[in-house]
Chain A
């Protein structure tokens, strides 16, 4: 296939840019899209909002030819089209920036842009043309990027820019962005929104998927709401409110704020001094960090993903050995302790990534419910486990945490993200630890479960536990924390109270202010 294609000059017709009619899609037993209808007007920014797992990515991936719908029709500019693969979608002027970037990390920017649109059998032929076209696009949309930089060396915000350029390079008139702001600082998100507005003003159509209500209100012209695989409503953004959208998303009224009283702070429980941590390549990820967490307070760590928060958590949790520095729990040094010892000492850990660290997805629920605490005398003696005791214990937690479906014998992979997270939270909290370190407690969790998990965390704090919370969701940090530390490039660049404004924190997260 050749590189740049020039489509027939299209007289601005009155047809919508995209119409989806009766789209239906199942993944095995999961009915991800149920008879979806959607119409997107030309030259608008159309938001699609819904909780995690509502089916937004699936729907747009069908439009982009990544998945095939089981049933339904797609119309582009009024014409019914068959989109059997991404090549067909590209041919119809559709481009997509996926939630997980589709970039080859050890390729240069230019190679990534050219991939699939090389302009001939030999690379040399297309390269200079691609370079010139890239330059033109950069200038036109304010999307600067060094064409010779290697993707893995670029910050995520820039990688996203490459994804957008990739779509534009292929001549996209309709640009789909799937949760584009999840990886961006507030300032980067603002820049992205400016770019999207420029695109719209030049006549392009933008479809923006997000689960953040604020973004919908800030930038879209229309908004469609998805819930559990269904399209429940479409509104003009100007004619709706955050409250209405939230209720449509969840199907009931929700509390968007966390209610909590003043903290009753006690002695220092968790103390970190001059901690330096390197990653497996030897790069310093946490750079001389010091802080304390006291009884009865939640200390939040804000920052854009990849600024050392993960490594900090891992070092405290005993998973990664610090290069230097000290960590103390209730006065005892713990920098050398392994996770089992830390649990004994009363440090619980809710890891950032429940799939890789928190759970064994192929285990049944009750097995995960004691994972890491299986040596406890309550669960058996010697080499044997007392399965009855473990299952009874699991059933109790299921009841208390409203984990659904309430079946300890179900394979963990078959629970939804929110319920999986509750399994982890229940396991760690119910052991009554002294201190709790938490990473991304509500990533990929539905609003109902978010509410529940947030309440539990606040209860733990009120019970006098020391809590360290890491999250890339600034809203979450702001609503839960009593004190906020901001991490940038491995350093704690500043501390603010719970009342710090989003702008202030955003600037600190970008390394601009301290």
Chain B
């Protein structure tokens, strides 16, 4: 493989690895801009992945699988909302609890239903989102430079990938061009302003967590029925936390969120690529070093390289009027 092929191949997997991050980070964008911390993204994604795989296996229909994932993820969101919005509980505790529940429940239910140690059975082709070959991809393949990029990076992804990139401008538009977005951003900064303007803080925040559940449904489904052909236990593998880091790195803005997710996806792809390869001048480096790169980068970036990240002011604080 020459260098160019390597680059194309890394870019291709960058895209694939970024998608779950992107959906999840956008989900977090909606909750956190509304002033609700969402450490439970990981759990929602995992639960959605499991639900999607189950439904897709039973029905043999990928779209129904996606719907199942969205449904379960929204249910998790509502539990988070009930604990932290209605009952004003600690948002971090509620989120962490959901992560534990998702991790445990998916394995227990998976084992009980399918008896494969927490896996779900292999999905039939109809139960998966398969790659879509864009028109002209094959014809273009031989055009220098852009040909391979078009054929291997832009074309050949599944529908969820394209939806993820569509979700970025859409999120931006909702946040900055609609009444809902204006109110959502306001409630994350000063819920008192929203309340005294005659708008229900509770309902607004509920809508935000529901949107987040919806988006996490996509990321979960992507993991189990698009990227893979089954649910594997713990398959979210900390992506929810990385998405959260990307969100902070992007200072809670939709377009930077996309770039942050692509960056983390790239590091992941790069780590995979370096597996078992020698670094010139150093020799073979344990693969763990590369796998740790995204996390190290997260620490470094968050520790100050991005300047001060101002989170939504009311973030993490339940709205109470009576002390």
Q: Does A415 reach chain B (CB closer than 8 Å)?
A: no
Report yes or no: A102 in contact with B200, Cβ–Cβ below 8 A: no
A interface residues (Cβ-Cβ under 8 A, vs B): 1, 27-28, 64, 66-67, 85-91, 96, 98, 100, 102-107, 111-112, 114-118, 120-124, 166
Q: Provide 15 A-B residue pairs closer than 8 Å at the C-beta atoms, listed in order of the A residue.
A: A27-B322, A66-B195, A66-B321, A98-B192, A98-B196, A102-B192, A102-B193, A102-B196, A103-B190, A105-B190, A107-B186, A114-B182, A115-B193, A116-B183, A121-B180
Interface presence of B135 (CB below 8 A): no
Q: How far is the CB of B171 from chain A (nearest CB, A)?
A: 15
Contact with A along B160-190 (1 / 0, CB 8 A): 0000000000000000011111110110011
Using Cβ atoms and an 8 Å threshold, which residues of chain A touch B177? 122-124
A120 cross-chain contacts in B, Cβ below 8 A = 179
Q: Is B253 among interface residues, defined by CB-CB distance under 8 A?
A: no
Interface of B is mostly: helix
B199 touches A122 (CB 8 A): no
Contacts of A89 in B (CB 8 A): 198
User: Does B313 interact with chain A (Cβ within 8 Å)?
Assistant: yes
- Is residue B197 contacting chain A, with contact meaning CB distance below 8 A? yes
Q: With A121-B179, A122-B179, A123-B182 as given contacts, are A67 and B321 in contact (CB-CB < 8 Å)?
A: yes
B293 is an interface residue with CB less than 8 A from chain A: no
How many Å from the CB of A326 to the closest CB on chain B? 30
Once the chains are docked, how many angstroms separate the CA of A360 from the CA of B58? 58
When chains A and B are docked, how far (Å) is the Cα of A114 from the Cα of B190? 15
* Chain B residue contacts of A117, Cβ below 8 A: 197
Q: Is the CB of B198 within 8 A of A102?
A: no
Closest A residue, CB atoms, query B188: A104
Check A104–B189 contact: CB distance below 8 A. yes
- Is the CB–CB distance between B323 and A64 below 8 Å? no
What residues of chain B have their CB less than 8 Å away from a CB belonging to chain A? 177-183, 185-186, 189-190, 192-200, 313, 321-323
A61 to chain B, nearest CB (A): 8
Contact of A86 among B183, B189, B198, B323 (CB under 8 A): B198
**A130-B192 Cα distance, complex, nearest whole Å:** 22
Q: Is the CB of A104 within 8 A of B190?
A: yes
Does B323 lie within 8 Å of A85, measured CB to CB? no
B290 nearest CB across to chain A (Å): 37
Say whether B196 contacts A86, CB under 8 Å. Answer: yes
| B190/A102 in contact, CB under 8 A | yes
User: Chain B contacts of A106 at CB under 8 A?
Assistant: 189
Q: Which residues of chain A have C-beta atoms less than 8 A from B200's C-beta?
A: 85
CB pair B179 A87 closer than 8 Å: no
Contact between A105 and B186, CB atoms less than 8 A apart: no
Complex interface: chain B residues within 8 A of A96 (CB) = 196
Contact A105-B195, Cβ < 8 Å, known A118-B179, A123-B182: no
* Interchain CA distance A235-B179 in the complex, whole Å: 45
List chain B residues, Cβ under 8 A from A85: 195, 198, 200
- Residues of B within 8 Å of A86, CB to CB, are 195-198
Q: Is the CB of B323 within 8 A of A27?
A: yes
CA A104 – CA B198 in complex, angstroms? 15
Which chain A residue has the least Cβ–Cβ distance from B310? A106
Are A123 and B198 CB-contacts (below 8 A) given A67-B321, A105-B190?
no
Could you tell me the distance between the alpha carbons of A181 and B194 in the complex, rounded to whole angstroms? 24
Q: In the complex, A425 Cα to B26 Cα: how many Å?
A: 50
The complex places the Cα of A102 from the Cα of B314 at a distance, in Å, of 13
- How distant is B35 from chain A, measured CB to nearest CB, in Å? 11
Smallest Cβ distance from B166 to chain A, in angstroms? 19
Complex: how many Å from CA A249 to CA B195? 31
With both chains docked as a complex, state the minimum distance between the C-beta of B31 and any C-beta of chain A, in angstroms.
18
**What distance in Å separates the Cβ of A70 from its nearest Cβ neighbour in chain B?**
12
Considering only CB atoms, which chain B residue lies closest to A30 in the complex? Answer: B323
CA distance in complex: A89, B197 (Å): 10
- Excluding A118-B179, A121-B180, 11 further A-B contacts by CB distance (< 8 Å) are A1-B198, A67-B322, A85-B195, A86-B196, A103-B190, A104-B189, A107-B185, A115-B183, A123-B179, A123-B181, A166-B197
State the CA gap A66–B194 with chains docked (Å): 11
Q: Which residues of A contact B193 (CB under 8 A)?
A: 102-104, 112, 115
Residues of A within 8 A of B199 (CB): 87, 115-116
Q: List the B side residues contacting A114 at CB < 8 Å.
A: 182
- A87 to B203 CA separation, bound complex (whole angstroms): 14
B321 contacts across to A, CB distance below 8 A: 66-67
**Docked CA distance A107–B184 (Å):** 12
Chain A, residue nearest B176 (CB): A123
A111 to B185, CA, bound (A): 11
Closest partner residue, chain A, to B312 (CB atom) = A106
Q: What B residues does A98 contact at CB under 8 A?
A: 192, 196
Most chain B CB neighbours (cut-off 10 Å) among A66, A85, A102, A116: A116
Residue of B197, B313, B322 touching A116 (CB-CB under 8 A) = B197
Q: Is the CB of A111 within 8 A of B178?
A: no
Is A123 a contact partner of B186 (Cβ separation < 8 A)? no
Taking CB atoms, residues of chain A closer than 8 Å to B196 are: 64, 66, 86, 96, 98, 102
**A-B residue pairs, 4 tightest by C-beta:** A116-B197, A87-B198, A102-B193, A118-B179
A67 partner residues in chain B, CB cutoff 8 A: 321-322
Using CB atoms, name the residue of chain A closest to B198: A87
CB-nearest residue of chain B to A106: B189
- Considering the chains assembled together, what is the distance between the CA atoms of A98 and B190 in angstroms? 13
- With the chains together, A123 CA to B179 CA distance in Å? 6
Residues in chain B near residue A118, CB distance under 8 A? 179, 182
